[in-house]
Amino acid sequence: MFRATPSMAATRASERSLSLEIAKQITIIVSASLFIALCSRVTVPLPFTPVPLTLQNFGVLAVGLVLGSRRGFAAMSLYLVEGACGLPVFSPAILGSGITHLLGPTGGFLMVYPLVAFVAGWLYERKPINSSRRFAWAALSSVAAEMVLFAGGLTWLAVLTHSVSLAIRYGLYWFVFAEVIKVMMAAGVAASWRKYTSR
């Protein structure tokens, strides 16, 4: 009778462990993309700008900080693919779906989501996990990521409106206070998560 040698058993166990880890990471990434879709449901249309106030940016920052640069980038890329395929993951306050939504007034913000999550995660990863300044570092990482977000969003608005001043008026002035709150919320979530996982 054929018997598996210890090395073969160890190989099979290693393969099972790898398969479980891959399934776990895929589940995390898919769940993160769905979390952003839920955040997009929390939307307040503003009468003086085509860009709505939404919780999505908080979600992107939180995902990047908690999951890290690579998984955050993957989750946001998946989110865009879901939206481009027509799944109802984008904000309902903007008319259109799929590619049409990505080419609309919020398209610039959406298209840089993977990079935003990557920047937030990459910078936050530079700080030791047991650092006592988790919140401050998470907030600074989020601010840097927000700069990327608004650079992409305002550039696209400037292309659509043919005016830098209009782009700034539509996409920046009305959102500064809300973004500060989102940065603080995301930093709080990330700092609490890192403290919990470092125990």
Domain boundaries, the chain: 6-197
- What per-residue confidence (pLDDT) applies to 75? 97
- Return mean pLDDT, the chain: 89
C-alpha triplet 65, 69, 75: angle, nearest 5°:
85
Tell the CATH topology of 6-197.
Answer: Arp2/3 complex 21 kDa subunit ARPC3 (1.10.1760)
> Above pLDDT 90, what percent of the chain?
66
Place of tokens 């603080």: 184
Q: 12-46 pLDDT, tens per residue?
A: 767 778 888 899 999 999 999 999 999 999 999 88
CB 120 within 8 A of CB 109: no
At residue 94, φ and ψ (nearest 5 deg) are -105, 130
| Residue among 113, 138, 124, 98 nearest 54 (CA) | 113
DSSP state for residue 53 in the 8-state scheme = E
Q: 127-177 pLDDT, tens per residue?
A: 766 666 889 999 999 999 999 999 999 999 999 999 999 999 999 988 999
- What per-residue confidence (pLDDT) applies to 9? 64
pLDDT for residue 111 is more than 70: yes
Amino acid letter for position 176: V
- Buried-state track 60-74, b at ≥16 Cβ within 10 A, e below 16: bbbbbbbbbbebbbb
User: What are the C-alpha distances in Å from 13 to residues 7, 16, 17, 18, 26?
Assistant: 10, 5, 6, 9, 20
Mean pLDDT confidence for 180-198: 89
> Above pLDDT 70, what percent of the chain?
88
| Residue among 164, 45, 144, 50 nearest 101 (CA) | 50
Tell me, rounded to whole angstroms, the distance of Cα 91 from its chain centroid. 14
- What per-residue confidence (pLDDT) applies to 19? 84
- What per-residue confidence (pLDDT) applies to 25? 95
- What per-residue confidence (pLDDT) applies to 195? 78
